[in-house]
Chains A and B, each alone.
Chain A
Amino acid sequence: MRGPLDADGGAVQLEQTWADPSGLIGWFEHVDHKSLGRRYLITAFGFFLIGGVLAALMRLQLSRPDNTFIGPDLYNQIFSTHGTTMMFLFAVPVMQGLGIYFVPLMVGARSIAFPRLVAFSYWMFLFGGIFLFVSFLLNAGPDVGWFSYPPLSEALYTPTKRADVWAQLITFTEVASLAVAVAIITTVLKLRTPGMTLNRLPIFVWAQVVTSFMVLFAMPAVMLASTELILDRLVGTHFFDVEHAGDALVWQHLFWFFGHPEVYIIFIPGTGIVSTIITTFSRRHIFGYLPVILSLVATAFMGFGLWVHHMFATGLPQLGESFFTAASIMIAIPTGTQIFCWIATMWSGRIAVKTPMLWILGFFAIFILGGLTGVMLAAVPLNIQVHDTFFVVAHFHYVLIGGAVFPLFGAFYYWYPKITGRMLSERVGAWVFALLFTGFNLTFFPMHVLGLHGMPRRVYTYAASMGWDSLNLLASLGALLMACGVLTFVVDAVRALSAGAVAADNPWGAGTLEWATTSPPPNSNFPRSPTAAGREPLWDNPPDQPVVVGLRSDARDVLVTHVLDAEPDHRLVFPEPSIWPFLTAIATTGLFIWSIFTPWGVVYGAGPVFVTMVGWFWPKSPDEGGSQPWPIAHRTLPRPSEAPAAGGAI
């Protein structure tokens, strides 16, 4: 496909136009969504490994009763940092990283919307993570849990900087994820290639856009809460200070109004991956496209109505609790609908069991169990018994590891060839799956029983007389197996970079547009942007499906289309690589960290942020950027045979 175009020269120029600068300084200027997506994925995975090491330390401490390996002070820092890392620095960013990389490719766009904002987001995310772990190494890691309930997190009971570190880490990651959410929503609504109406949008992209809307509504709640907390701690406000007419419960409402949707922010992209992989490997369109999409949207709405089931033990009125029980139970309906649609797809498909599919089968086994214990937790009488015990620890690891991490590993195996141009080993992949699946169940299944036997969460040790030791030992051994599995995966992923079999453009025979380009994709994503005639364009498009013409190859032209039907609307010149997002992120980081030590940090720290933002948004002359109407001549796009070469004339 590229051959004839290269000869023409247009494609070469197009590649140069969309290239990120090289060199050390250039490295900080990248705005290519593929480069940023890769960074997001690798960084988030790195944090996953660190979070895993923390988990292993906890399992080591709990492997026998009355253990003195880790004291309460360090243990509290470890479990708080583990939770914070996995939720804020791994689960959400890694899904957003997949979105940054694949959403533009799947909708046939040349770039993600607001690429500089996404670059800024990446740096904020990275700096936030570094800030957390440097604090941890300086013995200032958060130690009041990932939920930081006041009054425990107030200055009176946590006089150190640890809770401030937690609160500002939240600010870092929320800024980053809000920015990505905005970019993904805009990309999906305005940058889809002609023909890709909303009704043909790949389910993975639907999942990403639904998640992004959830981020927009959920994250402000926790940003508000953490800002109020840090104000209480630093400035002496009394939002949560009971002694001065503050209220300790308000925090829980605000936190869980974010915290419960957060679970779906992690899980919905997981379901998007499941739908994608099942479709590809069942070799048929998904059964029930519309119900699946409606389920995603319904889950997103209902996800905001269940937060109180985290607070059943606080003693709320019984009638009110019943509503939240009902909502918590009912959210199983859309999820169940999706599961039935997946089974129907597999039932009527022609399944190829490749490694990505193994992870999806693992997902079914683990997630369904987690979902059912979730239904059990919705019932108040049961909830108030197992709440805050290891039963809940088991439940949400089944939901999150089953519902997000297993699909994510499936996604790694599925998309690794597209990102790197190499295949991961199928044989090693089966081993990794076996190790993780066995290790996971060994680790977390016994926790259900421990919880039912009364072992509370967040305890650094337990007495031998409680009889909890053998199950804890079993769980710790399971964690060892999981660690082996993850390690094997890392080794294989690094090895395959240079030694893996070279990947074809579409090694799995999939139908979505990211497979319509080379592996890895060129700088401009598509030498000649494809259009879509169905939900799986590579399966549905006729051989002479029109292609996009009219975009210059010597400028970063992007076609902007209408929201609903993706008809061409106008042409927009996208921003060039720039160092300013990086500098702005440095300045913002300075402000956030400074503000922990003195409120004046906010005042003085705003100066550098202002300066770098001026640099970022410095006005450009009209011919450098801006939008131009889409010419009438291109309202009807030509067949490939009639189209001029890539980019080419307008």
Chain B
Amino acid sequence: MLWVCAGVFVIVLTGVFLALRRGTRTNADQDSPNASERALARAVGIAVGTTVVVLLGLLVASVWTGRAIGSLHASSAVTIEIIGHQWWWEIQYDDAIPSRRVITANEFHIPTDRPVVLKVTSRDVIHSFWVPNLHGKRDLIPGYITALWIQADRPGRFRGQCAEFCGLQHAHMAIDVIAESDSDFETWLDTMRRPASDPSDATARRGRDVFMQARCAGCHTVRGTDAAGQVAPDLTHVATRNTLAAGTLGNTREHLTSWIRDPQGAKPGNQMPPNIFAPDDLAALVAYLESLR
């Protein structure tokens, strides 16, 4: 399509240029435009006809490609639900057994060479799920659930970003899709299904208490604990993720510390409030979060 369009561009501009050259060279006395009027009409007619044919060709190609993309089907597909929030992604892996359902955020894994069906919707405003290397955009519209099929043909990490303007932090709403072999995928999913294990060292245990007593637990969920907040990302396995705050920061100790202290610094306008902790409380909290693998 690009080449057809580029070709048309060159041909038409050549036409303009030739017309300009001929038009400027014709001088006042040699004028008998009427003689060529029929020829002109024929030329314009042919040009319009060609346009129609080329456009029809493009139309057929477009519809055909659309059908090919849309007709990806399989019975053994993995079903993943993606829910948009300002400004992060909630990911749910469906399962017939409720305890085997998985909820995570901003990063999800898929098996390669297998169709994956994504059901998308939004809890607040309209977002758009877009991982360019896997599929085109699909809007996440509150009140609607739509489905699309994707399939990764090779393992790898595919970055995506919200593509529908959704407010202050539309720029910082990225998502990572990790495609891996079936066995790796199942291992990962099993890890995700497990509730958070009790931290083994004292600092992390103290961090857990900080987490439960401060307001963290009001918004975040850590499965296996009392923290069951529903408005912010699930942190049960937060330490396994590559990034923090929907792709805003790398998941390192420094970033985690600065993010908890001042979330408005890196991502102004997001819904996490700033927090004041004593330095050792903060360090313990970070240690606890880092233990959530």
Binding site for B on A (CB under 8 A): 71-73, 76, 144-145, 149, 151-152, 157, 242, 247-249, 282, 284, 287-288, 291, 313-315, 318, 321-322, 325-326, 329-330, 332-333, 336-337, 339-341, 343-344, 346-353, 361, 364-365, 368-369, 372-373, 375-376, 378-385, 387-389, 454, 456-462
Contacts and interface: CB of A to CB of B under 8 A. Distances in A.
Interface of B: 1-2, 5-6, 8-9, 12-13, 15-16, 18-20, 22-24, 26-28, 31, 33, 36-37, 40-41, 43-44, 47-48, 51-52, 55, 58-59, 61-63, 65-67, 69-70, 86, 124-126, 128, 130, 132, 135-139, 141-144, 146-148, 161-171, 268-269
26 contacts: A72-B168, A72-B171, A73-B269, A76-B168, A144-B167, A152-B165, A157-B124, A249-B144, A314-B144, A333-B52, A336-B48, A337-B48, A343-B12, A344-B44, A346-B19, A347-B18, A350-B31, A361-B16, A361-B20, A365-B13, A372-B8, A375-B58, A384-B136, A387-B136, A454-B132, A454-B161
B190 to A, nearest CB: 31
Contacts of B1: 376, 379, 382
A326 B18 contact: no
B162 A313 contact: no
Given A347-B40, A458-B170, 20 more contacts: A73-B168, A76-B167, A144-B167, A313-B163, A314-B139, A325-B66, A329-B59, A343-B16, A344-B19, A346-B19, A346-B22, A350-B23, A351-B24, A353-B24, A364-B13, A381-B62, A382-B1, A384-B136, A388-B164, A461-B171
A364 B43 CA distance: 19
Given A287-B40, A288-B41, A326-B59, A149 B165 contact: yes
Contacts of B40: 287, 344, 347-348
A284 B26 CA distance: 12
Contacts of B5: 372-373, 375-376
B33 A349 contact: yes
Contacts of B165: 144-145, 149, 152, 388, 457-458
A322 B70 CA distance: 13
Contacts of A325: 59, 62-63, 66
A392 to B, nearest CB: 10
B23 A346 contact: yes
B161 A456 contact: yes
A115 B132 CA distance: 54
Given A350-B28, A459-B171, A379 B61 contact: yes
A121 B169 CA distance: 38
A248 B167 contact: no
Contacts of B66: 318, 321-322, 325, 379-381
Given A248-B142, A375-B55, A454-B132, A381 B171 contact: no
A351 B20 contact: yes
B142 A313 contact: no
B137 A288 contact: no
A72 B165 CA distance: 12
A174 to B, nearest CB: 23
Given A249-B144, A458-B170, A336 B51 contact: yes
B24 A152 contact: no
Nearest to B165: A458
Contacts of A149: 125-126, 164-165
Given A318-B70, A454-B161, A457-B165, A151 B269 contact: no
Given A346-B19, A457-B165, A385 B142 contact: no
B166 A152 contact: yes
Nearest to B15: A343
B125 A369 contact: no
Contacts of A336: 47-48, 51
Given A346-B19, A350-B23, A361-B20, A157 B51 contact: no
